[in-house]
Amino acid sequence: MSTNSNFKLTYSTMFNPPEVMHTRFSDAVTQVKAHLGREHAMIINGKDVFAAEKFEDRTPIDTSVVLGVFQKGIPADAAAALAAARKAWPGWKNTPWQKRVEYIRKAADLMDQRIYEIGAVMSMEVGKNRMESLGDVAETADLFRYPCEQMEEHDGYVVKMKADPLVGLTSTNLSVLRPYGVWLVISPFNFPGALTGGPTAAALVAGNTVVFKPATDTPWVPRLIAECLRDAGVPDGVFNYVTGPGSTLGQALIDSPGVDGVTFTGSLDVGMRIFRDFAQGRYVRPAILELGGKNPAIVSKHANLDDAVLGIMRSAFGLQGQKCSACSRVFVEESVYDALAERLVALTEEIKIGDPLERDVYMGPVVNKGAYQDFQDYCREAQEAGAKFLTGGKVLTEGAYAKGYFCTPTILADLPESHRLWKHEMFEPIIAIAPVKDLQEAMHRANDVDYGLTAGFYGTPEEVEWFFDKIEAGVTYANRPQGVTTGAWPGYQPFGGWKGSGASGKNSGGVYYLPLYMHEQIRTLVAKPGA
């Protein structure tokens, strides 16, 4: 999304936006607040569908405020959505890919037009600050456009192969990528735009139809994305939006033989359970999984400490640490450890915590009561293990914080090397830092986890090359003050992980992602000369 010819909003540029963006965001907040508490339907076969039971979507900023009322879908709704997607699939797959691209680009344009409304809702629903919310929406639009560009660049993924060396006959061999059928997309709470849009757009451009289920904490933003698709003219049944508990509605979708492929973003435990359940079908079906991280930063004694401190702070405490890409472990060569720790604490204590709708607030609340309690439990566990709290470790409960889930950004030192919190994904505004005798020790500890999503480094050009070669992660950054482990963007830094962080080995928003939503068919035609 661009506000003028000189500024494009990304996670790297969002720290110095034009003033007009703040003005328009504030106006959108006023407009959205005038319509809180309304009921929102599911969308199945292009129609609004209501369930017998409902659930309230409350803001973590002030839990007395009901953002909207949503449908508690049941397995029958899952079956209806899958049936609609199956019925729509023949027409959608036979729609020329150029026309499918046209639909998806129109939806992206609508997101650009509605970015401030969607961003305001996201800030209220997730607790993201205003620039991160706008960034999420802008990224969603770009994630819609990127597979369109890839489809065009590869001319629909039809490739002429070598001809068989036949005598007296001619042979034509074509490699054609074709859609699977009905695709299930399950998104998490933290990026309800981008992690809805990325897999949905890829699946649709490829010619699949989609059934989509958002996280129960954040159903409103995905509903607005669904409306962009509907308003763009995407035919009925091609995209279906259902809401409800993962344990019932979500499980019914996973268990259905009517699903031909699934994309899930969330925790390793839930992802592995989905992977195993999905494997119980009659045959192997593709499962694209992005499953969290325990992302390290390594700081060399030769590093620019100002850049390192800024990048670590932004990646550790942006969105309250509730990113699978958040920096949660920092390994620093001994000679610069004290200096870095001192600067990091000072910068962290400058963070303003509060209502993320306000322009000068960097940290809003964590997403729900469970996350709020987890923060307290992790802090207690670290304290009992003898860790030193350089800053933070508290929840805020007075005044404007009284009805929300506000936690302080927390830096732990002296956490025993054997402690489980060095390897456990917390999804909280908590980082642990430790001195290391050399970079080899840092790399060993950085790689000694089940995850391999993102990683960052600060040091010399020679050290950077060593880091890129040795680190076990799918997205890597060096000497980046905008964020040491965060800030991927489609077409710039495709996002995906290794080991327990991902299942496909191909990163979303990159050149290898779209083909995951298609399987290959080889077409051989043999003919006699002149026939």
- The residues carrying an active-site annotation are 290, 324
Beta strands in 279-415 (DSSP E): 287-290, 295-299, 327-333, 388-391, 395-396, 406-407, 410-413
Query: Quick check: helix, strand or coil at residue 4?
Result: strand
Q: Which residue has the tokens 């997101």?
A: 111
User: Of 420, 475, 466, which Cα lies nearest the Cα of 443?
Assistant: 466
For residues 461 and 484, give the distance between their C-alpha atoms in angstroms, rounded to a whole number.
16
Q: Give CA separation, 13 vs 18, 44, 351, 448, in Å.
A: 10, 38, 19, 33
- With b for 16 or more beta-carbon neighbours within 10 A and e for fewer, the 96-132 pattern comes to ebeebbebbbbbbebbbebbbbbbbbbbbbbbbbbbb
**2 CA to centre of own chain:** 21
Task: Indicate the burial class of 316 (C-beta count within 10 angstroms; 0-12, 13-18, 19 or more).
Answer: buried
Counting Cα atoms < 13 Å in the Cβ hemisphere of 286 gives: 22
- 518-527 and 170-179 as β-strands: parallel, antiparallel, unpaired? antiparallel
Residue 479: strand, helix, or coil: coil
Asked if residue 137 lies in contact with residue 111, where contact means CB atoms within 8 angstroms, the answer is: yes
